[in-house]
Chains A and B, each alone.
Chain A
Amino acid sequence: MRSLIPCVLFFVTAAFGQSNTGTLTGSVSDTAKTPIAGVSIEARNMETGAVQKAISVPAGTYTLSQLPPGKYQVTAAAVGFKRYEHKDIVVVQAGQTQRVDIPIGDFISLDTLGEDRASFGRFFFSRPKPPEGPAPRTSEDKPDFSGIWYGPSPGGGDAPELLPWAQALEKERTDHNYKDNPQSRCLPFNVTPFNLLLNRLVQNKDVLISIIEYDIPGYRQIYLDGRAHPKDLEPSWTGHSVGKWEGDTLVIDTTGFNDKTWLGEAIPHTDKLHVTVRLRRPDLGHLQIETTYDDPGAFKKPWITKGAATLASASEEVAEFICNENNQDVEHMIGK
């Protein structure tokens, strides 16, 4: 693996014409030389601290244009891959194009049968088309979210901007191969009512329950009966959730988290975490989910992600996930 790193191509191409900015371009590929799209590439100007970002396209290429001349640190990150840090400082000069090709490291579950990229691709792209029609409404004339839903598919959203301590901790966790992730101990790994496999929503006027196929615990309760969060709430893994209607949008407010969950693969948070999920059902087959993670103890500003779930066939059933029935991995995991 390490022997691949020196293979990074790095050269300078003179550009025609006059310009007071430079360009950084290249391609991103995995260990099998497969182009990888959706990778976030960042160039940080070492003098000003300014950061410019680009996302690799389906061919795996990226371009950062109009970079002020200067020295840059180049990093790349994508969910499932190891964070990449280019080992050399990249010098951008006016009117020139620098090329930095990025050999991004292991997919986090590299080729494990059933958890390989081909399998994940099929889970998410062979889903049946959702039915068409108007969103159902309850007898109280509110949108009825009840149904079985394929978990939120992509809508986009940047990675959170972390405070320095949180950034350092995320890096440490990543550098240690995510070895201590609570998920590997069969502890909870999600602070929202949804995960990406199946989720069954059951709603009445007083409560919305999410039964989550791949999560620990596999349920969330969102109170709709007007209650407030309890005073002196004891911190917990999943917090306390209440929902309020803003027109046809259900705003789910969750607080009272402990600080133990790792968000994504390695993002830390504190017990100040406050999660707001805005839920809409614009039609029968779709659920729009906007999630705001606000944590002044760990994030520079609230982190917002957007996703869309689609209605699954009523014949689908949420499977059981008894994570600790045969968890052999922990004793074999090695950090840095």
Chain B
Amino acid sequence: MRMKTILMTAGTALLLFPRPVTPHHSFTAEYDSAKVMQFTGTVTKVEWTNPHARFYLDVKDAQGAVTNWNFELGSPILLRKLGWKQDSLKVGEQVSVEGYLAKDGAKMANARKVTLSDGRNVFAGSSGDGSPK
């Protein structure tokens, strides 16, 4: 409920801007907002790069087959302003990720929630959701 309030405040306030920072690309063109999927796996790589930071996760399915998934985050410029760093997520960590699937069927998703095994959320923008600042 608290999170909802924070989101509402941030969301509504943002829209008073005539021109917010436009994201690098349209979410709608690349990801399907109706296809949210949960992933659990091991971090294999973190790319602290523009225009988007990314991390890759080995995810094992019920048959034991492992697929490497590519997850998109915001730009490091923006993530840094929230207090996150290149090593906020480390190779080898076990994480759970909630993300929107790519529309074209690629093994890619847009990360909207990244949770470490101890329950902390990383890269979150709200102080009520674990952000360091």
Chain B residues near A319 (CB, 8 Å)? 76-77, 80
Minimum CB–CB distance from B47 to chain A (whole Å) comes to 6
CB-CB nearest 3 A-B residue pairs: A114-B74, A121-B10, A119-B125
A119 in complex: contacting residue of B34, B53, B74, CB < 8 Å? B74
Q: Is B50 within 8 A of A109, CB to CB?
A: no
Chain B residues near A80 (CB, 8 Å)? 14-15, 20, 22
Minimum CB–CB distance from B116 to chain A (whole Å) comes to 13
Q: Which residue of A lies closest to B36 (CB)?
A: A111
Within 8 A of B (CB), among A153-199: 153-157, 176-179, 181, 183-184, 186, 189, 195-197
Given A265-B22, A332-B106, also A196-B17 (CB < 8 A): yes
Q: Is A334 an interface residue (CB 8 A)?
A: yes
Within 8 A of A (CB), among B107-133: 108, 110-114, 123-127, 129, 131, 133
Within 8 A of B (CB), among A296-336: 305, 307, 319, 321-330, 332-335
Q: Is B50 within 8 A of A328, CB to CB?
A: no
Chain A residues near B72 (CB, 8 Å)? 112, 329
Given A34-B4, A115-B78, A121-B14, also A329-B25 (CB < 8 A): yes
Within 8 A of A (CB), among B21-56: 21-31, 33-34, 47, 49-54
Given A34-B8, A110-B100, A326-B47, also A79-B17 (CB < 8 A): yes
Q: How far is the CA of A126 from the CA of B83 in the complex (A)?
A: 13
Q: Which residue of B lies closest to A80 (CB)?
A: B20
Minimum CB–CB distance from A169 to chain B (whole Å) comes to 16
Given A108-B23, A122-B127, A319-B77, also A113-B114 (CB < 8 A): yes
Q: How far is the CA of A125 from the CA of B10 in the complex (A)?
A: 8
Given A110-B27, A184-B25, A265-B22, also A325-B11 (CB < 8 A): no
Q: Is B87 an interface residue (CB 8 A)?
A: no
Q: Which residue of B lies closest to A38 (CB)?
A: B15
Chain A residues near B16 (CB, 8 Å)? 37-38, 154
Q: Is A124 within 8 A of B13, CB to CB?
A: yes
Q: How far is the CA of A126 from the CA of B108 in the complex (A)?
A: 32
Q: Is B21 within 8 A of A335, CB to CB?
A: no
Q: Is A321 within 8 A of B17, CB to CB?
A: no
Minimum CB–CB distance from A148 to chain B (whole Å) comes to 14
B104 in complex: contacting residue of A154, A213, A265, A332, CB < 8 Å? A332
Q: How far is the CA of A321 from the CA of B9 in the complex (A)?
A: 29
B73 in complex: contacting residue of A1, A107, A112, CB < 8 Å? A112
Q: Is B29 within 8 A of A333, CB to CB?
A: yes
Chain A residues near B34 (CB, 8 Å)? 1
Minimum CB–CB distance from B89 to chain A (whole Å) comes to 11
